[in-house]
């Protein structure tokens, strides 16, 4: 009996295990073969996308008697589980699922593991060691932890899944770029038109460095950055950086789509990259509280661009003020939690700016209470030290409770309780008044001698060394 109990015991009590995958790609990037060896027999494997079955060409267990069948695009494993399997994926077809497949040069493809990686769920510290066997001229870029410097070997661990992570195969410009506290793993993809990769690398470095002006280092020591040249393909909504996003899936990826025809100075004046990098100051927050992640990124994007000298202070306050006004006008009958819940499509500006209002309130409260010795930067600094990068999804209240633990007295949960489920938008006129930010006809003016003028100036204070460095970078 004791033996039986032991066998049936919950997996949670077991030591973490590491499975081992070998991934082979042919030089035409038409096929991908996986050999998966499991440290303990697994009863089910699953792919991130429901469409993965469409790209699967064949699958078998490593021994004769272990048959694997497909049903409804799902792999059906033998009841006793399997210790090993081999499968083949139609890589060329899977690559077409990526929405920029047509704007990329044929030398490189982007294929999310959601379409080609079949694996057990990774709970309780379990992981997969993935080794790539690639033709000599082929590179691969992934968001997973890098295991060694002498070959493409990585470790995939449990993580949130906010979207499908990009994995890049082929010939492209891969660089490891140092910024304070981190080495960015940057892939500059090849588009159909030429791109000035040296300028792109400088832009990524400068905007990621902006984020280190929050507390001295970049929040994730080794994120993946993927730069996709899209030309002027979105002519109706022109911008040097038409789109950016953070993808949390097997690690953190910042994806930036750029109009590669734009010069470096235009890219450096665009806020998108700073906004996306700022998202990494927080972990992945569940969708119904995403006004917190968006709001903190909006707040910090303006704060950091001012500290780095890209914005002057008055311009940054104007941007913050304008944002709050857009937030106020956006679906006033909804609370931030309702606007974020996903069932309501409008209210985007409420989602983007409610959290930015709360970030400013928290920052001012922290600074005022401590006589300037504690700020929102300090709380985020301590939060990074305890909790980032995080392998899971956080709820808004859980995050704010953690912030309060890290602060000398609670600030965040009281603000959450007051505003998260309250319709309308926080009234910021009192705080603007005390900071010495007067508004007439929608224009912000800085008033001398205001009660909290020192706090106002400290929040956006330009870091002159950083500003000078950024200017030199743009000039070279």
Alpha carbons 357 and 461: distance in angstroms, whole number = 19
Residue closer to Zn ion, measured from CB, 21 or 277 = 277
- Applying CB under 5 A, which of residues 240, 297, 376, 460 lies at the interface with Zn ion? 297
* Number of shown-chain residues binding Zn ion (CB under 5 A): 2
Q: Are strands 252-258 and 224-229 parallel, antiparallel or unpaired?
A: parallel
Residue closer to Zn ion, measured from CB, 29 or 297 = 297
Segment lying near Zn ion (by CB under 5 A), choices 118-126, 153-161, 296-304, 397-405: 296-304
Alpha carbons 414 and 435: distance in angstroms, whole number = 21
DSSP 289: G
Residue closer to Zn ion, measured from CB, 287 or 443 = 287
Alpha carbons 408 and 239: distance in angstroms, whole number = 42
Query: What angle separates helix 290-307 from helix 313-329, to the nearest 10 degrees?
Result: 160
| Distance of closest approach, residue 287 Cβ to Zn ion, in angstroms | 13
Residues 181-240 interacting with Zn ion (rule: CB under 5 A): none
| Distance of closest approach, residue 293 Cβ to Zn ion, in angstroms | 7
Q: Is the dihedral of CA 380, 386, 390, 396 positive or negative?
A: negative
Residue closer to Zn ion, measured from CB, 280 or 460 = 280
Decide: is 247 part of the binding site for Zn ion (CB under 5 A). Answer: no
| Distance of closest approach, residue 388 Cβ to Zn ion, in angstroms | 17
| Distance of closest approach, residue 364 Cβ to Zn ion, in angstroms | 23
Token pair 């003020």 in the structure block, residue: 321
DSSP 42: E
Q: Is 371 in contact with 254 (CB distance < 8 Å)?
A: no
| Distance of closest approach, residue 476 Cβ to Zn ion, in angstroms | 30
Tally of CB atoms within 10 A around 8: 7
User: What stretch of H or E contains 39?
Assistant: strand 31-42
∠ CA 421-423-425, nearest 5°, is 105
Taking residues 265 to 294 in sequence order and writing x for each that binds Zn ion by CB under 5 A, - otherwise, the string is: -----------------------------x
Residue closer to Zn ion, measured from CB, 210 or 294 = 294
Residue closer to Zn ion, measured from CB, 130 or 358 = 358
| Distance of closest approach, residue 303 Cβ to Zn ion, in angstroms | 15
Chain positions contacting Zn ion, by CB under 5 A: 294, 297
């Amino acid at each position: 009996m004791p033996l039986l109990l032991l066998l049936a015991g919950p997996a949670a009590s077991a030591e973490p295990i590491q499975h081992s995958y070998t991934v082979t790609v042919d030089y035409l990037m038409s096929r991908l073969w996986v050999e998966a060896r499991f440290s303990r027999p697994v009863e089910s494997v699953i792919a991130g996308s429901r469409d993965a079955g469409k790209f699967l060409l064949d699958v078998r267990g490593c021994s004769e008697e272990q048959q694997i069948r497909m049903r409804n695009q799902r792999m059906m494993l033998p009841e006793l589980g399997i210790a090993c399997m081999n499968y083949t994926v139609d890589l060329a077809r899977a690559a077409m699922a990526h929405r920029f497949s047509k704007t990329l040069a044929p030398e490189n493809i982007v294929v999310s593991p959601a379409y080609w990686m079949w694996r057990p769920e990774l709970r309780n510290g379990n992981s997969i060691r993935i080794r790539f066997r690639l033709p000599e001229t082929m590179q691969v870029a992934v968001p997973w932890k890098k295991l060694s410097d002498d070959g493409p070997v990585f470790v995939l661990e449990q993580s949130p899944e906010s979207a499908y992570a990009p994995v890049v195969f082929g010939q492209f410009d891969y660089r490891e770029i140092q910024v304070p506290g981190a080495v960015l793993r940057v892939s500059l993809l090849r588009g159909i038109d030429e791109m000035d990769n040296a300028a792109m690398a400088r832009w990524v470095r400068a905007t990621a460095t902006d984020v280190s002006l929050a507390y001295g280092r970049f929040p994730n020591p080794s994120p993946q950055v993927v730069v996709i040249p899209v030309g002027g393909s979105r002519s109706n909504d022109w911008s040097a950086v038409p789109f950016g996003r953070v993808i949390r899936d097997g690690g953190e990826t910042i994806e930036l789509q750029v109009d590669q025809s734009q010069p470096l100075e235009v890219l450096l004046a665009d806020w998108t990259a700073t906004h996306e990098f700022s998202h990494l100051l927080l972990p992945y927050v569940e969708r119904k509280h995403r006004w917190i992640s968006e709001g903190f990124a909006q707040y910090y994007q303006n704060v950091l661009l001012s500290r780095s000298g890209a914005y002057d202070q008055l311009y940054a306050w104007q941007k913050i003020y304008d944002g709050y006004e857009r937030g106020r006008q956006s679906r006033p009958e909804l609370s931030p939690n309702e606007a974020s819940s996903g069932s309501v499509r409008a209210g985007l500006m409420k989602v983007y700016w409610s959290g930015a209002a709360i970030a400013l309130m928290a920052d001012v409260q922290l600074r005022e209470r401590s006589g300037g010795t504690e700020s929102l930067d300090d709380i985020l600094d301590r939060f990074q030290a305890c909790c980032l990068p995080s392998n899971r999804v956080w709820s808004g209240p859980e995050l704010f409770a953690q912030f309060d633990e890290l602060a000398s007295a609670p600030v965040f949960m009281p603000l959450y309780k007051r505003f998260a489920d309250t319709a309308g938008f926080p009234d910021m006129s009192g705080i603007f008044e005390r900071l010495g930010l007067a508004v007439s006809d929608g224009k912000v003016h800085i008033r001398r001698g205001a009660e909290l003028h020192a706090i106002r100036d400290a929040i956006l204070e330009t870091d002159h060394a950083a500003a000078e460095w950024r200017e030199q970078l743009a000039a070279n």
